[in-house]
């Protein structure tokens, strides 16, 4: 056999073995990599929330937290205006790096929260606009539709607002520009960027406060609205005061540049004005012969005096304020802002500088709008606080006019006024039925079960099924009785069952027996048994009412104190018994009714007494009969005598 054949066969076996090994190695290597990638993807997805309902509790809490962070953000942005200060002795402008770091930190924190809110919007369901024609609308929970809806909406606006432009300018561009001829452009860029981001942020933030957001109101209480109004005033003073400092700083900067232009050493002078980091700049320019000339320049020194040649107008007080510490600068600027809002800039006389005049006009306009907004909201707030009191006063006036019109006697008027006062104190003017009628039926049922727990304290209803109790609770009406009122009276019709919630009563029988009633007791319960006994059930299960009969009370139930109770009218009770007649005929229920009822107890006691007296009479009559049978006859006695 040729030798090349053996070598070729061995090469084929080696190639086959190598291909098998390579395929196994490839599957192990890349298959394991795919498994790791799959597990990593699943682990990441486990931390990414699914689509969330905008009305969920966690989303509502996040919205409140986000609004608070926005409050901090719109307070922080104007603080960039006071990071620049003036060193009057050196006639130069420098950066307050301590204040700068604090402002940048707060701004970066609020930007991070805003970025989280942007990411949340891609997982937050929204209400389809076309579905709002009827009801609350339909929630769209498809992730792609949610993302498309947000991208077509405010995504790019939010993305622009979260860009760290002020941080970049303050930390990167401004330090490089100070000490050079381009410093003024860097400062102008900072003054331009902040309003460009700040105004859209206000327009995105204000709807969250006033409730014009898709999720509804975030802060709903009257106290929260009060603080929102207070915040609006503080924010206005904050913005106007810091803008006043910024514009005043610009006028000082302009005055120094005018003095620099007339100095004769323009290039060096521009470097002296913008000294960047204060200590480093002073050491850097110490060897420059024009440095001392600039420090002693009379025109530059006049920029820091009120009687100098430069007209500052309403910014005259910022001339010396630019060199003070940060706390003094901010507090005085805030005071100035509050003062101008409250006086509508009435104590300010601007110079002929156009931008200064426009700023004064803006202060007057903002002050007028703020007062109109604030007065309207405060009026609504005070009306909301006193609304119940006003309703009570109107109710009392109507009752008083009605009593005068009907010529009620003084005693009846006193009782009516007392009843009205106690009813208002018990209910606070709230109609519970109106509150419940708009809620879902299952929620109404659960609320009634919570409110009417006392029903189960009654042994009669403790033995009944839940659906019977729900039917009873649905018909209960709140009743208020004042001291001395008669809930039932002897000889009158029993037209309701009364469940006592609070207060004390006494039940006086026709024979004078007295029984105390208090919380958890019931009066008029004989009406339930009476309805069951005076009706029958047909073969098809329908209830046949025996008409023409009414239950008469044999006792008087009188209030010893003011009483809060719930009543079940005869018509409602009849309806309940007609629906659940078979359940109510349970012997245990019937026995509980008779055992717990003062009416049935009194009737049982009366019947026992009647039976006992009848038995005593029969026994006495029988004894007399037997004694008469054994007595001697008169004719027989006469015969014996004969």
Structure tokens at 527: 């009406």
Tens of pLDDT, residue by residue over 422-469, are: 777 666 667 777 777 778 888 888 887 777 776 666 666 666 677 777
Residue 629's CB is within 10 A of a number of other CB atoms, namely 6
Do 413 and 403 form a contact (C-beta atoms < 8 A)?
yes
pLDDT digits (tens, 9 = 90+) for 97-149: 888 889 999 999 999 999 999 998 888 887 776 665 554 557 777 888 888 88
| Cβ neighbour number for residue 386 with a 10 Å cutoff | 12
| pLDDT score of 317 | 86
For residues 246-263, give the mean pLDDT. 84
Instruction: Please give the average per-residue pLDDT across 54-60, as a whole number.
Output: 80
Strands 126-127 and 535-537: unpaired
Strands 126-127 and 477-481, sheet pairing? unpaired
Q: Tens of pLDDT along 471-501?
A: 778 888 888 888 888 888 888 888 888 888 8
Q: How confident is the model at residue 240 (pLDDT cuts 50, 70, 90)?
A: very high
Here the tokens at position 559 are 């209030």
HSE-up (13 A, CA, CB side) for residue 560: 14
Bridge partners (DSSP) listed for residue 567: 477, 498
> Per 3-state DSSP, what percentage of the chain is helix, strand, and coil (rounded to 5)?
65, 10, 25
Between 246-250, 290-294, 322-326, 529-533, the lowest mean confidence (pLDDT) is in 529-533
257 phi-psi bin (left φ>0, alpha ψ -120 to 50, beta other) = alpha
Note the pLDDT tens digit of each residue in 393-413.
Answer: 788 888 888 888 888 888 888
Residue count of the chain: 642
20-24, 125-129, 515-519 — which is least confidently predicted?
A: 20-24
Task: Compute φ and ψ for 369, nearest 5 degrees.
Answer: -65, -40
Buried b (16+ CB within 10 A) or exposed e, 529-565: bbbbeebeeeeeeebeeeeeeebebbbbbbbeebbbb
List all residues 6 or more positions away from 103 whose beta carbon is below 8 Å from its beta carbon. Answer: 76, 79, 80, 83, 170
CA–CA separation, 469 and 478 (whole Å): 16
Decide: 512 and 490 in contact? Cβ < 8 Å: no
The structure tokens listed for 112 are: 């991070």
Question: Strand 555-559 to strand 505-509: parallel, antiparallel, or no bridges (unpaired)?
Answer: antiparallel
pLDDT digits (tens, 9 = 90+) for 574-598: 887 777 666 666 676 666 666 656 5
Beta carbons of 534 and 584 less than 8 angstroms apart: no
Among 234-248, 273-287, 336-350, 443-457, the range of highest mean pLDDT:
234-248
Q: For residues 594 and 601, what is the distance between their CA atoms, to the nearest angstrom? A: 7
The CB density around residue 6, as the number of other CB atoms within 10 Å, is 10
* Residue reference for tokens 């002073």: 282
1 falls in which pLDDT band (50, 70, 90)? Answer: very low
| Residue 215 confidence (pLDDT) | 56
SS3 309: coil
Looking at residue 455, its pLDDT comes to: 66
- Percentage of the residues of the chain whose pLDDT score is greater than 70: 72
- Please give the pLDDT value at position 638: 41
> For the segment 30-50, what is each residue's pLDDT rounded down to a tens digit?
455 566 666 655 655 555 567
439-605: CATH superfamily: Jelly Rolls (2.60.120.10)
pLDDT at 637: 44
pLDDT score recorded for residue 475: 82
Decide if pLDDT at 536 tops 60: no
Q: Distance between CA atoms of 94 and 87, rounded to whole angstroms?
A: 7
Predicted confidence at residue 636, as pLDDT, reads: 47
With left for phi above 0 and alpha for psi between -120 and 50, is residue 243 left, alpha or beta? alpha
What integer pLDDT is reported at residue 53 of this predicted model?
A: 79
- Residue 146 vs residues 123, 154, 299: alpha-carbon distances, Å: 7, 12, 63
Give the global pTM: 0.60
DSSP character string of 241-275 = HHHHHHHHHHHHHHHHHHHHHTTS-HHHHHHHHEE
| CA distances from residue 155 to 74, 115, 149, 166, 364 in whole angstroms, order as listed | 19, 11, 9, 20, 35
The Cα–Cα gap between 434 and 482 comes to 24
Across 330-342, b (16+ Cβ under 10 Å) vs e yields: bebbbebbbbbbe
- Residue 284: is its pLDDT beyond 90? no
pLDDT at 92 over 90: no
Q: Residue 293 corresponds to which tokens in the numbers above?
A: 């000339």
Bridge partner residues of 139 (DSSP): 127
Give CA–CA dist 82/95, Å, rounded: 9
Residues 253, 206: Cα–Cα separation, whole Å: 34
CA distance 103 to 81: 10
| Average pLDDT for 238-244 | 91
What is the reported pLDDT for 563?
A: 87
> Among candidates 552, 432, 551, 528, which has minimal Cα distance to 480?
432
Q: Is the separation of the CB atoms in 253 and 225 below 8 Å?
A: no
Q: How far apart are CA 556 and CA 226, in angstroms?
A: 53
List, for residues 187-205, the tens digit of each pLDDT value: 778 888 888 888 888 888 8
Mean pLDDT across the chain, nearest whole number? 76
Backbone angles phi, psi at 628, to 5 degrees: -70, -35
Predicted confidence (pLDDT) at residue 562 exceeds the cutoff of 90: no
Residue ranges of E strands in 230-368: 274-276
């Amino acid at each position: 056999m040729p030798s090349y054949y053996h070598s070729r066969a061995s090469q084929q076996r080696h190639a086959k073995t190598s291909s098998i090994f390579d395929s196994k190695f490839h599957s192990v290597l890349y298959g394991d990599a795919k498994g790791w990638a799959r597990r990593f993807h699943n682990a990441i997805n486990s931390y990414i929330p699914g689509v969330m309902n905008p009305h969920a509790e966690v989303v509502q809490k996040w919205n409140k937290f986000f609004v608070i962070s926005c409050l901090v953000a719109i307070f922080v942005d104007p603080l960039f205006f006071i990071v620049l200060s003036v060193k009057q002795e050196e006639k130069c402008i420098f950066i307050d790096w301590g204040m700068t770091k604090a402002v940048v930190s707060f701004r970066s924190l609020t930007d991070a929260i805003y970025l989280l809110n942007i990411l949340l919007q891609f997982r937050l369901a929204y209400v389809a606009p076309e579905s709002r024609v009827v009801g609350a609308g339909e929630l769209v929970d498809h992730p792609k539709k949610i993302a498309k809806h947000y991208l077509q909406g405010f995504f790019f606006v939010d993305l622009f607002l979260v860009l760290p432009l002020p941080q970049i300018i303050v930390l990167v561009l401004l330090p490089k520009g100070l000490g050079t001829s381009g410093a003024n452009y860097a400062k102008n860029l900072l003054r331009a960027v902040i309003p460009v981001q700040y105004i859209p942020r206000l327009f995105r933030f204000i709807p969250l406060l006033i409730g014009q957001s898709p999720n509804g109101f975030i802060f709903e209480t009257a106290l929260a609205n009060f603080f929102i109004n207070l915040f609006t005033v503080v924010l206005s003073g904050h913005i106007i005061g810091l803008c006043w400092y910024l514009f005043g700083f610009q006028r000082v900067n302009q005055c120094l540049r005018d003095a620099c232009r007339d100095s004769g050493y323009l290039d060096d002078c521009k470097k002296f004005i913008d000294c960047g980091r204060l200590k480093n700049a002073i050491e850097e320019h110490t060897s420059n012969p024009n440095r001392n000339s600039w420090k002693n320049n009379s025109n530059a020194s006049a920029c820091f005096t009120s009687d100098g040649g430069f007209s500052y107008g309403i910014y005259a007080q910022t001339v010396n304020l630019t060199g003070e510490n940060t706390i003094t600068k901010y507090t005085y600027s805030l005071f100035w802002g509050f003062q101008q809002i409250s006086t509508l800039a009435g104590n300010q006389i601007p110079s002929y500088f156009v931008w200064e005049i426009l700023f004064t006009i803006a202060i007057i306009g903002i002050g007028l709008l703020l007062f109109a907004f604030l007065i309207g909201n405060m009026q609504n707030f005070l009306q909301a606080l006193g609304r119940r009191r006003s309703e009570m006063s109107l109710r009392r006036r109507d009752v008083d006019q009605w009593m005068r019109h009907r010529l009620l006697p003084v005693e009846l008027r006193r009782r009516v006024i007392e009843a009205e006062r106690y009813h208002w104190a018990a209910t606070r003017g709230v109609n519970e039925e109106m509150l419940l009628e708009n809620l879902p039926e299952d929620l109404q049922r659960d609320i009634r079960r919570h409110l009417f727990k006392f029903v189960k304290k009654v042994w009669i209803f403790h033995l009944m099924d839940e659906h019977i109790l729900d039917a009873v609770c649905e018909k209960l009406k709140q009743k208020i009785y004042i001291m001395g009122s008669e809930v039932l009276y002897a000889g009158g019709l029993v037209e309701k069952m009364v469940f006592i919630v609070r207060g004390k009563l006494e039940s006086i029988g026709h024979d004078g027996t007295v029984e105390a009633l208090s919380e958890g007791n019931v009066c008029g319960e004989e009406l339930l048994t009476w309805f069951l006994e005076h009706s029958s059930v047909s073969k098809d299960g329908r209830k046949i009412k025996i008409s023409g009969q009414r239950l008469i009370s044999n006792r008087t139930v009188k209030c010893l104190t003011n009483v809060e109770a719930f009543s079940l009218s005869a018509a409602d009770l009849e309806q309940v018994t007609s629906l659940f007649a078979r359940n109510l005929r349970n012997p245990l229920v019937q026995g509980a009714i008779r055992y717990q009822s003062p009416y049935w107890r009194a009737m049982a006691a009366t019947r026992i007494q009647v039976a006992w007296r009848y038995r005593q009479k029969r026994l006495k009559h029988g004894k007399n009969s037997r004694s008469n049978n054994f007595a001697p006859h008169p004719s027989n006695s006469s015969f014996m005598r004969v």
